[in-house]
Amino acid sequence: MQTKTLRNFIFALSWLTALFAGVAAAAETPEKVPEQVIEPQIDRRDVHIPKIRASDIEIGYYTGRLSVEDFGAESSSGYRIGYHVTEDFFIEGMRGTSLVSDLSFRRLGIPILRKPTVDLTYSYVSIGYNMFPGEVFIGKSFAMTSAVYLVGGVGNVNFNDEDHTAFNFGIGIRVLPWDWLSARFEFRDHAFESDLLGKNELKHNYEMTFGISAYF
């Protein structure tokens, strides 16, 4: 009886050993990768992407609309000149002008300004940072560099024959159709203190502009 039991045990052990060996061999056998019959042919596009290069001088003109707090909005325009220190940072000087009218107050018999319409001029030195660089494609073979930028600085605002220390902060987007030309859409806040209405307050004057600049 013991001899028969031992014989059955050896048989079962041999069967299990063969089973595990077959499973291990199947696991080690790599799967066959189907051969690629047709190789894809990809046409490479020769795309020229303009770049904002360091040490470039940028000169431009812009026009838009300036909203002066308490007095409404009028058209504005100006010039700017910038120097691109690196591909990310630039220094910019700008000078702009607009008109301000107090006709709405004069209709109530309360003249605020020295005359119904006066000039407002501003000049700044600002620092800008190009962030979120990208590309804009037109068709299949023309691409334009684009960048959203932040800008801010300090300067002077002359309003109603009075000079005010002013600060400007803004955000814009720049697109370069060619290496030497850019189009800019921009939104800025011109902030300065004024007491024209009897109380010295910080006034926020928002301006939206579109401009064209050339690089040299």
pLDDT tens by residue, 93-112? 999 999 999 998 999 889 99
Architecture of the domain whose range is 56-215: Beta Barrel (2.40)
pTM of the predicted model, to two decimals? 0.73
pLDDT tens figures, 40-60:
555 555 555 566 666 689 999
pLDDT for the residue numbered 145: 86
Q: Cβ distance 193 to 202 under 8 Å?
A: yes
The top-scoring range by mean pLDDT among 23-37, 81-95, 137-151 is 81-95
- In the chain, domain spans: 56-215
Token reading at 154: 């300090």
pLDDT tens figures, 124-178:
999 999 988 777 777 777 788 889 999 999 999 999 999 999 999 999 999 998 8
